[in-house]
Structure 1
């Protein structure tokens, strides 16, 4: 993946091992927004660094500071006979919102999807996540699908 860079946007690159502490703070902020504990932090970090695990990560940085993250993975689409990308997590530090980090991260995921031949990038967000939905409405099409979860 080529780094996304311009005068108005942060740089986007693949997550690296040395990003652990800064990534941890960003992911902790993301988890807090969704009222989740941070018990999953180290498991998720392990997945992101494991080349055999499907989940991958991008980060947005301004200078030496990480200001955003995106976690994504492939998923099979049987009815389309294709593979798509699933954006699990997208988060920008509150003090960096409006910096272009969200746009740069979404474009980074789109570029990976194009390089890998994925046919779509899909994600969900909370209905009341108005700021994020405003951004998503600019770059994607809201679908009519309703999401369910079945406890196991």
Structure 2
């Protein structure tokens, strides 16, 4: 999609980002309030917080996809990696390689920062997303565990 641009999230994207992030929470069946989205928005714009974001803009400057990311320490390899926390594309824009473009931009950002890897997780039943991920990355053998606190 030639008119697609990947740019850092800016204040002008707030309404689109809010809609996209609410859609992401709905996709994963996670209860998310406006207060929660406001907190994440503030993190992204806080220079002291690690969370950052890219958005995919269409030809009209409308955000049609988002990617939240942050660095993470990798003590075993003595390196820093990049963690892709959230990736979501407007359902009307799916199939147009928007996710590919967001991941490619994050990989370029990682190279610029000297990161050793970009890592993320997804739900086992996210078949459409996994088809993209299988095309652009390597599936690892690691399992994820949580302790609720």
TM range (shorter): over 0.9
In structure 1, the residue matched to 2:84 is 87
Using the alignment, how far apart are the partners of 1:10 and 1:93 within structure 2?
13
1:30 aligned to 2:24?
Answer: yes
In structure 2, the residue matched to 1:17 is 11
Which one has the bigger helix percentage?
Answer: 2
Contact preservation (8 Å) 1:10, 1:100: no
Using the alignment, how far apart are the partners of 1:37 and 1:54 within structure 2?
24
Contact preservation (8 Å) 1:10, 1:99: no
The size of the alignment, in residue pairs, is 146
RMSD over aligned Cα atoms: 1.0
In structure 2, the residue matched to 1:49 is 45
The more displaced of 123-132 and 62-71 is: 62-71
The ranges of structure 1 where at least 4 consecutive aligned residues each deviate by more than 2 angstroms after the TM superposition are: none
1:103 aligned to 2:79?
Answer: no
Using the alignment, how far apart are the partners of 1:10 and 1:103 within structure 2?
11
Using the alignment, how far apart are the partners of 1:100 and 1:151 within structure 2?
35
TM-score normalised by structure 1 residue count: 0.93
The alpha-carbon deviation at position 71 of structure 1 amounts to 0.2
Structure 1, unaligned stretches of length 5 or more? 1-5
In structure 2, the residue matched to 1:136 is 133
